[in-house]
Amino acid sequence: MEGIIDTHAHITADELYDRVDAVIATAKAAGVSKILAIAQNRIQCERALELTEKYDMIDVAMGLFPVDMPDLTERDFQDLEELAQDPHVVAIGEIGLDYYWDKEHKDIQKAGFIRQIKLAEQLNKPILVHMRDAAQDTLSILREHLKTGGIMHCYSGSVETAKEVLKIGMHISFAGPITFKNARGLIEVPKVVPLDRLFVETDSPYLTPHPLRGTQNEPKNVVLTFQKICELKQIEPADFIKAMNENYKNLFYNRNR
């Protein structure tokens, strides 16, 4: 089985970067054909861009994480605006709102989110959205400002919220939690997401799928999430791989510039 895409992996974070070549090799051996490397600062982005020179299977996304917003400076935004010009940076993300870890700085998070959405519009690049305990505000901002499409990453919300995400025109990506034994409500969500809006991811090095929970996650494990989605949607793996690759091309490559 080849052609699976991991649309969200922090392979240039310190936890994985010291063995990144092995991480990429084992992913490729497992059937992964593309990894979208997520960078959250200049160092991570420069590491990821170096990897694109070595591996055709690596694309890059860069964005400033919502929980980091209170500690960021104008220089951080300038770094993003500079690095995001690189054609290997195919998306702005992950960006969004997180009221689980930070309820105190909602306005700062919102301002940073909107600023990065506007940057994505200027560059005609999609966004990768982080939404945790902040569905109402996230959806409101997306309805008002989003012009370039994107992915709601590591989706963990309700069926109803997923339908609203789809109405906005976004794609939805599932990570390890869809495989967890306690994912009772979440397993209903992929059933309402059409194939042309569907992705999978690892969010490595976090959220390792069942039955490997307790170990460090990496892109090769996206296969477990992929298999779970095929089971839940009762679809053939080859059909999902074909759709996933079409979705990826249309969202990240086939853009009117």
Q: List, for residues 191-250, the tens digit of each pLDDT value.
A: 999 999 999 999 999 999 999 999 999 999 999 999 999 999 999 999 999 999 999 999
Is 56 annotated to bind ligand? no
Q: For 130-164, what is each residue's pLDDT tens digit? A: 999 999 999 999 999 999 999 999 999 999 999 99
Is 145 annotated to bind ligand? no
pTM above 0.95, yes or no: yes
Give residue 65's pLDDT.
97
* Per-position b or e across 139-169, b if 16+ CB within 10 A of its CB: bebbeebbebbbbbbbbbbeeebbebbbeee
Q: What is the C-alpha to C-alpha distance for residues 145 and 121, in angstroms, rounded to an integer?
A: 9
Question: Following DSSP, what letter does each residue of 94-139 receive, concatenated?
Answer: EEEEETTT-STTHHHHHHHHHHHHHHHHHHT--EEEEEES-HHHHH
Average pLDDT, the chain: 97
Q: For 162-184, what is each residue's pLDDT tens digit? A: 999 999 999 999 999 999 999 98
The two three-digit tokens of residue 159, written as one number: 């069926």
Is 130 annotated to bind ligand? yes
Q: What is the C-alpha to C-alpha distance for residues 232 and 254, in angstroms, rounded to an integer?
A: 29
Asked if 5 and 18 touch (Cβ cutoff 8 Å), the reply is no
Delimit the domains of the chain by residue range: 4-253
Q: What is the C-alpha to C-alpha distance for residues 172 and 190, in angstroms, rounded to an integer?
A: 9
Q: For 22-81, what is each residue's pLDDT tens digit? A: 999 999 999 999 999 999 999 999 999 999 999 999 999 999 999 999 999 999 999 999
Residue 77, number of CB atoms within 10 A of its CB: 15
Burial of 249 (0-12, 13-18, 19+ CB in 10 A): exposed
| H helix or E strand, kind and range, residue 9 | strand 4-9
Give residue 185's pLDDT.
92
Give residue 257's pLDDT.
43
Burial of 60 (0-12, 13-18, 19+ CB in 10 A): buried
Q: For 72-121, what is each residue's pLDDT tens digit? A: 999 999 999 999 999 999 999 999 999 999 999 999 999 999 999 999 99
Q: What CATH architecture does domain 4-253 belong to?
A: Alpha-Beta Barrel (3.20)
pLDDT at 255 over 90: no
Is 94 annotated to bind ligand? yes
The two three-digit tokens of residue 181, written as one number: 């034994």
Give residue 256's pLDDT.
58
Instruction: Give Cα separations from 16 to 25, 84, 206, 207 (angstroms).
Output: 13, 22, 11, 14
Sheet of 150-152: strands edge to edge? 4-9, 32-39, 58-62, 89-98, 127-132, 150-152, 171-174, 198-200
Tell me the β-bridge partners of 39. Answer: 62
Q: What is the C-alpha to C-alpha distance for residues 86 and 40, in angstroms, rounded to an integer?
A: 15
Instruction: Give Cα separations from 202 to 113, 129, 140, 148 (angstroms).
Output: 23, 15, 27, 23
Give residue 1's pLDDT.
80
